[in-house]
Amino acid sequence: EPEVTQTPSHQVTQMGQEVILRCVPISNHLYFYWYRQILGQKVEFLVSFYNNEISEKSEIFDDQFSVERPDGSNFTLKIRSTKLEDSAMYFCASSVNRTPTGEQFFGPGTRLTVL
């Protein structure tokens, strides 16, 4: 069964460093998403991406964040200058159709630790 994959599974970085989190969505999906979950808190929407542009973003997704689909298979989230509060689990998701009726399939997550 096709699945969303994410690399790395765990990333440790120093505050102020740039990180890139990588995702490979399911191949025939057209809509892509990033969510994050700070330890002990709810899963929060960051951004959605369709047709090579951001379709929606939350207030969390400020200028420090960017997303890109550099080729036909990868979808990346970049954090330019990480802060301690960026430590969280980051989930990538993809869907064939637009939400809400398009079911989002989630990857296993990347745990980001900012020291």
Q: Which stretch binds other proteins (CB under 8 A): 12-20, 69-77, 80-88, 97-105?
A: 97-105
Choose, by CB under 8 A, the member of 13, 22, 26, 45 that binds other proteins: 45
Record the tokens describing residue 67, joined without a space. Answer: 């997303």
**Residue 101 to residue 64: CA distance in whole angstroms:** 30
Binding status of residue 106 toward other proteins by CB under 8 A:
yes
Q: Segment near other proteins (CB under 8 A), from 13-21, 67-75, 76-84, 104-112? A: 104-112
Give me 104's structure tokens. Answer: 């989002």
**Are β-strands 88-95 and 43-50 bridged in parallel, bridged antiparallel, or unpaired?**
unpaired
Q: Is 85 helix (H, G, I), strand (E, B) or coil?
A: helix
Q: Which residues bind other proteins (CB under 8 A)?
A: 4, 6, 31, 33, 35, 41-45, 48, 50, 55-56, 58, 91, 93, 98-101, 103-109
